A and B are shown apart, each in its own frame.
Chain A
């Protein structure tokens, strides 16, 4: 497809389990972002990838969160030992280049931790 694709769209898991969320950015976009949006809130920056540069991980809330981007394309956000406060919508976005130009968002992955 032409847009940013995220999977799964919905994930329900039990506290303590690990989850993986996937993002497939727009082809040719070198920048990729992960954000978290709690119910009725704004977007919280998590991590940023730009080309082959070291990612900006400054927004990751704890060491239970990690992300990788393979081959400069698909990205996976992993949350280990999930907690109830991890429940949120995780949004991925991509953009063309290094400057903070227009971001193209996926529809998000809604995570519910029971």
Chain B
């Protein structure tokens, strides 16, 4: 079974709004990462947060990690049409990076 599960499965918002995606996982991790995938393309790394970190920022991205609840959230502020993509969380333990099923984000202009 997959380690990470994203919520919601799909999200549709207007340009300029914020988008929040959540990820839950089941076992202990070394780190949690978020990736983005445009349709028909490979995945692009967005941000990595280690298990001893609680929050991390990168540009318009903000990631939080709550290891007690085994959950993470990705916030994209001031969304743009170009942010339309699938977003995946991935949890790292040992030599494997296990991906969730992803959230499809659509930003309408």
Q: Kindly state the separation between the CA atoms of A93 and B88 in the bound complex, as whole angstroms.
A: 15
Q: How large is the interface on A (under 10, 10 to 19, 20 to 34, 35 or more residues)?
A: 20 to 34
Q: Give residues 95-109 of B contacting A (CB, 8 Å).
A: 95-102
- Indicate if A107 sits at the interface (CB-CB under 8 A): yes
Q: What string of 1s and 0s marks CB contacts (under 8 Å) between B15-39 and chain A?
A: 0000000000000001101010000
Q: Which residues of A contact B (CB under 8 A)?
A: 4, 31, 33, 35, 41-43, 45, 48, 50, 56, 91, 93, 98-108
CB of B94, distance to nearest CB on chain A (Å): 7
Cross-chain pair count, CB within 8 angstroms: 61
State which of A41, A48, A98, A105 has its C-beta within 8 Å of the C-beta of B43.
A105
- Indicate if B60 sits at the interface (CB-CB under 8 A): no
Which of A56, A99, A100 has its CB near the most chain B CB atoms (within 10 A)? A100
CB of A83, distance to nearest CB on chain B (Å): 22
Residues of chain A within 8 A of B33, CB atoms compared? 100, 102-103
Residues of chain B within 8 A of A56, CB atoms compared? 95-96
In the complex where A42-B101, A105-B44 touch, is A99 in contact with B96 (Cβ < 8 A)?
Answer: no
